């Protein structure tokens, strides 16, 4: 029988993979655990989560099958655990950073692309993915760019988790750094466009769809190891935002390179401008460039850090 996750109306969902009690336990352990024991704690915590959270494990293995069809089931099982294990390290680092510990060393790659944002008064769109340590890197961007910075986050699945996360991230907020939640109220897009018009920076993740109204599917062609065609479900909002405002899209990725070490990888910006009245065609061209030339190459190279725990691809019927 298919797995049925705990219903939001029951108390059990708070102990699930996305429940607030699970996250609170992880955060408590990260705070009290001595640094020399942290790898053991993370290995234990990751193993329990990986074995109990069956939907997450299956989703990771499915995504890895699309990215690497030549790998067998056992290899994908081990690889999926490596993703969870790596994710646990980033969560522990973020927990310590939120409590004022200056523990993270940063490397910058492609700094000239970030400096280009500071050299102009126009607004910009930072497009990133669910990789590395987004929550910790965003305040760093706000400081380095010396510009008002808007970080867009997806809301949590349960109200208890959302309330706890907002409390945890409240210490990061300032007049130059603001966290905005994509709650599908149709007003966020207007607010972000106004922010870009004021010369501010908007950072948004472009590899995961939360609300179907933002759906923008792109087909991934068959590879040498698979005859299947898959559809990558992308959020449409970032590309429409760039087109409406005329702001360039700056691809930026945060990558974990070692023990409490991260690299900010900035790539050359690209536009999303309509050359005719067909605005949808311009959005598709920009989205295709993002997927084919930027996103897929990065996540294939750094697949252990792609923290998308839902099925990211849909199989397309050949007929």
> What pLDDT, in 10s, does the model give residues 95-128?
787 777 778 888 889 888 888 887 788 889 999 9
pLDDT above 90 for 58:
yes
Band of residue 72 on the pLDDT scale cut at 50, 70, 90: very high
pLDDT above 80 for 158:
no
Mean pLDDT of the residues in the chain: 80
Fold of 12-316: Glycerol-3-phosphate (1)-acyltransferase (3.40.1130)
Q: CA-CA distance, 12 to 2, in Å (whole number)?
A: 18
What's residue 7's pLDDT? 46
pLDDT above 80 for 10:
no
What's residue 174's pLDDT? 58
Q: CA-CA distance, 62 to 82, in Å (whole number)?
A: 15
Structure tokens at 134: 């987004």
Higher pLDDT, 148 or 22: 148
Q: Where are the domains of the chain?
A: 12-316
Strand order in the sheet with 261-266: 105-109, 261-266, 249-258, 124-128, 201-205, 149-153, 177-181
**Is the separation of the CB atoms in 238 and 294 below 8 Å?**
no
What's residue 129's pLDDT? 92
Higher pLDDT, 144 or 80: 80
pLDDT above 70 covers what percent of the chain? Answer: 79
Higher pLDDT, 303 or 272: 303
Cα→Cα distances 76→35, 168, 179, 255, 289, Å? 30, 34, 35, 21, 28
pTM (2 decimals)? 0.83
pLDDT above 90 covers what percent of the chain? Answer: 25
């Amino acid at each position: 029988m298919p797995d049925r996750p705990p219903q939001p109306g029951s108390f059990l969902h708070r102990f699930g993979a996305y429940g607030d009690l699970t996250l609170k336990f992880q955060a408590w352990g990260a705070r009290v655990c001595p640094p020399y024991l942290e790898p053991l704690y993370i290995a234990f915590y990751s193993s329990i989560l990986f074995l109990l959270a069956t939907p997450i494990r299956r989703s990771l293995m499915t995504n890895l099958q699309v990215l690497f069809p030549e790998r067998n089931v056992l290899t994908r099982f081990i690889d999926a655990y490596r993703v969870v294990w790596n994710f646990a390290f980033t969560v522990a680092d973020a927990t310590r950073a939120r409590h004022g510990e200056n523990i993270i060393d940063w490397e910058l790659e492609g700094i000239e692309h970030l400096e280009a944002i500071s050299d102009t008064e126009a607004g910009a769109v930072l497009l990133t993915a669910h990789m590395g340590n987004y929550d910790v890197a965003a305040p760093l961007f706000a400081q380095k760019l010396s510009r008002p910075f808007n970080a867009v986050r997806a809301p949590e699945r349960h109200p208890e988790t959302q309330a706890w996360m907002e409390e945890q991230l409240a210490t990061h907020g300032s007049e130059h750094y603001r966290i905005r939640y994509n709650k599908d109220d149709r007003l966020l897009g207007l607010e972000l466009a106004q922010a870009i018009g004021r010369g501010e920076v908007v950072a948004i993740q472009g590899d995961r769809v939360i609300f179907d109204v933002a759906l923008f599917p792109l087909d991934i062609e068959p590879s040498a190891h698979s005859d299947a065609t898959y559809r990558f479900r992308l959020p449409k909002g970032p590309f429409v935002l760039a087109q409406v405002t005329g702001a360039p899209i700056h691809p930026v990725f945060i990558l974990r390179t070692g023990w409490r070490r991260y690299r900010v990888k900035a790539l050359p910006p690209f536009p999303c401008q309509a050359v005719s009245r067909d605005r949808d065609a311009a959005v598709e061209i920009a989205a295709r460039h993002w997927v084919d030339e930027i996103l897929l190459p990065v996540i294939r190279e750094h697949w252990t850090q792609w923290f998308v725990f839902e099925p990211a691809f849909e199989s397309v019927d050949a007929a």
